[in-house]
């Protein structure tokens, strides 16, 4: 059946039967009777109601609840957004207890308006009819809870929708490029949804205008045969108009930024083939300079001849300099604070200079046992800091190319793994391949010194002597070349509901890049989001990484020159708020247990004998398995291969402020690539809450890890017999209040030959619950 829009615009009368949006006369009579009944019931009910309490509207009871029944195809929220009637709600989840107590200031009341309610009855019907459900029937139920309070219910019988039986395009013959109807939002077999049809029409029009047809138009034609009233034939008539080119380009509103800078950010010139997408890209390029408060490219489509489209570029400059400060918290970095100063037209040309200072681990020593449990203890809990200067050149022979140079000094700690202090540069060239699809080539030289990493090197590479560890921890060069790519096709950068992302990076470091540590490293990650009925979102993430290390150049011409050693900064770690949430920060994967030698050679508690004799410590044959688990300290060592996966269902709890999640995280880290085994993946289910704030959702998650059985190596201090002619008697090992042993500590670590087996009991245990706190989604 013909759509009236096409007939009106062409001046025709159409053909076929009735318009799909028209209603048969019996339907109209039934609707009038229903509306009359609703209005009569409301009027009688209101006249019989007693006087309302103060604050209520005369003869309009308060709406305690608003419900929908029978709506299989559309969620309650979509229907609620299509009508005006609302139910009484609490003003905020934060003050929910006051709502339970009946405090007036906490409640946002809503009262029944009979005229609006009757109109909402029609709105629900129109909502369904516009989406192809022409047989829909709607009834209303008003239940009076008290003389001044009611509950409302819309009872819906959807019926079967009219579906698209055929979908054709006309007038597209001879057009270059990919087919216009590729990936349209409507397909054969879908319900005849007028809103989706309009979106498909807009998509076709946009695609034509992106190919140079500035005056293109697409008309919609719908035919529903009388013998098959549930099947629709849809046609789109395409009118391209003339091929157009950009005409004169004028620039307005620029003050400090020169007109040349504005023009070179345009991805076209006068005489280029017209493209609506190119105009949008020009606006994105201008906003990316960060100096313009407003930027618009206005086209003159009324210009004659219509094959020429003049443009006017309007910009409004913001402050050339800006200072920002902020802070945050998560249980891995404790409290953080950051300050930035930016010059957005540094030395002209819209170049940017940003000075940045950041401090983290604030208050960690005080709160390490509570809300900052993942930030580390001891020297790992000291303040971390960063000072950097970053320069950006926004145009390198093309608006798609950007150069970025960054100099920095920082102290960084990975709890229980290493502490790093470094000076470095990050030089990168980025090219925008498409919308939200940058490709970057970077060189990242730095001179860094490690500390507290002796356990890492002794465990992973059997480098335990002080001299060799000093070579690894002293100032060494780490200078990789990196190629990275990312693509973001989600509908929101903060809380996506639909779309996907891809990201990958490969690094190479060798003597050719002036690096003391040689390696190749590959990391790839992807996410996908899919909306579900009931305002739910299903999200998934998959991440994998591989590291191939080479011998450390500082060990050349020594007995260790053939050992492959990876810099701890480049190893992979798993566990934490944005990883496998059933584990604390970096605690999933290879670990080592450290213990003080005093715990082994002296009796502890009620025990009458020591765990090991000093001779067993010296020859590494000590079995520390009899020692209580609490005496050990777990130290992650990272690995060369990692795999992580997350599946998360996000659902409303108290919309729009509070949302809940149910998730399952899986992952594992393997010491070497040859150890990779999917059977060793660990799964940790959990639940969480997200409270919406302007800076992102505040997140609280709790996950449960399964019982594990692990054989872990043990690291302790080396000892040797006391030498009276060489050693100070005060250096002998001495227990509290006991006689000393004729043994002294050696400045080296000892890795015991026998690992310790830790096996957790089966069944539920509160000890295996892991809480995570952060700002922002896990992915």
Residue 305 preceded by cis peptide, ω within 30: yes
Residue 345's pLDDT is 93
CB contact at 8 A, 513 and 443: yes
pLDDT at residue 668 above 90?
A: yes
pLDDT at residue 13 above 70?
A: no
CB contact at 8 A, 346 and 352: yes
Residue 20's pLDDT is 36
Q: Give the pLDDT mean for 339-360.
A: 95
Residue 602's pLDDT is 87
State pLDDT tens for residues 753-774: 999 998 888 888 888 999 998 8
pLDDT at residue 27 above 70?
A: no
Residue 770's pLDDT is 94
Q: Give the pLDDT mean for 671-689.
A: 94
pLDDT at residue 53 above 90?
A: no
Residue 483's pLDDT is 98
Which CATH fold would you assign to the domain 25-157?
Answer: Ubiquitin-like (UB roll) (3.10.20)
> Could you tell me which residue, 690 or 16, shows the higher pLDDT?
690
Residue 40's pLDDT is 42
State pLDDT tens for residues 231-273: 999 999 999 999 999 999 999 999 999 999 999 999 999 999 9
Least trusted range by pLDDT, from 99-103, 381-385, 431-435, 746-750: 99-103
Residue 418's pLDDT is 86
Return the beta strands (E) in 10-93 as ranges.
62-69, 89-90
pLDDT at residue 606 above 80?
A: no
State pLDDT tens for residues 696-721: 889 999 999 999 888 899 999 999 99
Q: In this prediction, what percent of the chain has a pLDDT beyond 90?
A: 61
276: number of Cβ within 10 Å = 19
Q: Sorting pLDDT into bands at 50, 70 and 90, what band is 466?
A: confident
pLDDT at residue 33 above 70?
A: no
Residue given tokens 């950007």 in the structure block: 402
Separation of alpha carbons 467 and 141, rounded Å: 84
Domain boundaries, the chain: 4-18+162-239, 25-157, 245-317, 451-571
Separation of alpha carbons 410 and 427, rounded Å: 17
Structure tokens at 352: 């940017």
- Specify which of 280-294, 361-375, 453-467 reaches the highest per-range mean pLDDT: 280-294
3-state helix, strand, coil in the chain (%, to 5): 20, 40, 40
Q: Give the pLDDT mean for 416-428.
A: 92
CATH superfamily label, 4-18+162-239? membrane protein fhac (3.10.20.310)
pLDDT at residue 76 above 60?
A: yes
712 to each of 149, 421, 704, how far by Cα in Å? 66, 29, 22
Q: Angle of helix 276-288 relative to helix 194-210, nearest 10 degrees?
A: 80
Mean pLDDT, all residues of the chain: 87
Domain 245-317 indexed as CATH 3.30.2350.10: no
Separation of alpha carbons 194 and 126, rounded Å: 11
Residue 513's pLDDT is 96
Residue 607's pLDDT is 63
Q: Give the pLDDT mean for 582-593.
A: 91
pLDDT at residue 740 above 70?
A: yes
pLDDT at residue 23 above 80?
A: no
- Global pTM? 0.75
Q: In this prediction, what percent of the chain has a pLDDT beyond 70?
A: 91
Asked if domains 25-157 and 245-317 share a fold, the reply is yes
Least trusted range by pLDDT, from 58-72, 220-234, 458-472, 525-539: 458-472
């Amino acid at each position: 059946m013909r759509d009236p829009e096409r007939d009106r615009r062409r001046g025709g009368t159409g053909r076929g039967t009735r318009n799909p949006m028209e209603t048969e006369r019996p339907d109209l009579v039934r609707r009038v009777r229903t509306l009359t009944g609703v209005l009569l019931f409301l009027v009688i009910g209101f006249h019989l109601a007693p006087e309302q309490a103060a604050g209520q509207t005369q003869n309009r009871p308060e709406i305690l609840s608003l419900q929908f029944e029978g709506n299989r195809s559309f969620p309650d929220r979509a229907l609620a957004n299509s009508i005006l009637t609302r139910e009484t709600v609490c003003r905020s989840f934060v003050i929910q207890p006051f709502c339970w107590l009946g405090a007036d200031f906490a409640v946002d009341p809503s009262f029944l308006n009979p005229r609006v309610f009757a109109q909402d009855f029609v709105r629900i019907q129109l909502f369904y009819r516009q989406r192809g459900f022409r047989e829909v029937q709607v009834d209303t139920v008003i239940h009076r809870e008290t003389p001044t309070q009611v509950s409302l219910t819309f009872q819906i019988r959807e019926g079967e929708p009219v579906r698209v039986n055929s979908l054709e395009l006309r007038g597209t013959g001879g057009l270059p490029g990919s087919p216009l109807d590729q990936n349209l939002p409507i397909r054969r077999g879908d319900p005849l949804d007028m809103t989706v049809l309009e979106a498909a029409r807009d998509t076709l029009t946009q695609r034509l205008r992106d190919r140079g047809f500035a005056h293109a138009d697409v008309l919609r034609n719908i035919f529903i045969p009388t013998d098959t009233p549930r099947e629709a034939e849809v046609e789109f008539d395409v009118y391209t108009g003339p091929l157009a080119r950009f005409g004169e380009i004028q620039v307005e509103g620029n003050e400090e930024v020169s007109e040349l800078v504005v023009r070179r950010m345009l991805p076209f010139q006068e005489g280029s083939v017209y493209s609506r997408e190119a105009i949008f890209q020009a606006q994105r390029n201008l906003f990316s300079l960060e100096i313009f408060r407003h930027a618009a490219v206005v086209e003159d489509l009324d210009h004659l001849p219509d094959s020429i489209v003049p443009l006017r570029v309007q910009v409004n400059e913001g402050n050339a300099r800006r200072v920002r400060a902020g802070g945050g918290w998560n249980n891995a970095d404790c409290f953080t604070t950051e300050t930035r100063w930016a010059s957005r037209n540094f030395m002209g040309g819209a170049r940017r200079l940003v000075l940045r200072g950041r401090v983290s681990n604030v208050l960690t020593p005080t709160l390490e046992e509570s809300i900052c449990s993942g930030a580390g203890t001891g020297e790992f809990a000291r303040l971390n800091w960063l000072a950097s200067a970053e320069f950006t050149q926004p145009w390198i022979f093309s608006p798609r190319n950007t150069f970025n140079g960054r100099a920095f000094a920082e102290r960084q700690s990975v709890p229980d793994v290493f502490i790093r202090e470094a000076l470095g540069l990050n030089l990168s060239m980025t090219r925008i391949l498409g919308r939200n699809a940058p490709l970057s080539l970077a060189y990242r030289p730095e001179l860094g010194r490690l500390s507290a990493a002796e356990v890492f090197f002794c465990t992973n590479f059997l480098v335990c002597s002080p001299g060799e560890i000093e070579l690894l921890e002293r100032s060494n060069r780490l200078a990789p070349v990196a190629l990275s790519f990312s693509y973001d096709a989600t509908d929101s950068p903060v809380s996506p509901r639909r779309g996907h992302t891809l990201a990958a990076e490969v690094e190479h470091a060798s003597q050719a890049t002036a690096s003391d540590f040689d390696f190749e490293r590959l990391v790839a990650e992807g996410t996908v989001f899919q909306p579900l009925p009931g305002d739910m979102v299903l999200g998934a993430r998959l991440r994998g990484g591989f590291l191939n290390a080479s011998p450390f150049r500082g060990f050349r011409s020594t007995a260790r020159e053939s050992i492959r050693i990876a810099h701890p900064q480049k190893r992979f770690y798993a566990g934490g708020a944005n990883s496998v949430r059933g584990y604390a920060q970096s605690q999933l994967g290879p670990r080592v247990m450290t213990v003080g030698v005093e715990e082994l050679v002296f009796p502890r508690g009620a025990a009458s004998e020591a765990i090991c004799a000093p001779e067993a410590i010296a020859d590494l044959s000590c079995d520390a398995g009899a020692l209580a688990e609490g005496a050990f300290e777990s130290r992650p060592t990272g690995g060369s291969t990692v795999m992580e996966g997350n599946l998360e269902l996000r659902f409303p709890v108290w919309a729009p402020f509070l949302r809940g999640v149910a998730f399952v995280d899986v992952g594992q880290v393997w010491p070497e690539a040859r150890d990779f085994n999917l059977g060793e993946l660990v799964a940790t289910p959990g639940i969480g809450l997200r409270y919406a704030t302007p800076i992102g959702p505040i997140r609280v998650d709790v996950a449960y890890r399964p019982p594990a059985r692990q054989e872990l190596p043990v690291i302790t201090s080396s000892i040797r017999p006391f030498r009276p002619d060489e050693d100070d008697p005060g250096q002998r090992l001495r227990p509290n209040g006991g006689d000393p042993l004729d043994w002294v500590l050696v400045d080296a670590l000892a890795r015991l030959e026998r690992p310790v087996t830790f096996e957790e009991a089966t069944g539920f245990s509160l000890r295996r619950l892991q809480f995570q706190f952060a700002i922002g989604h896990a992915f």
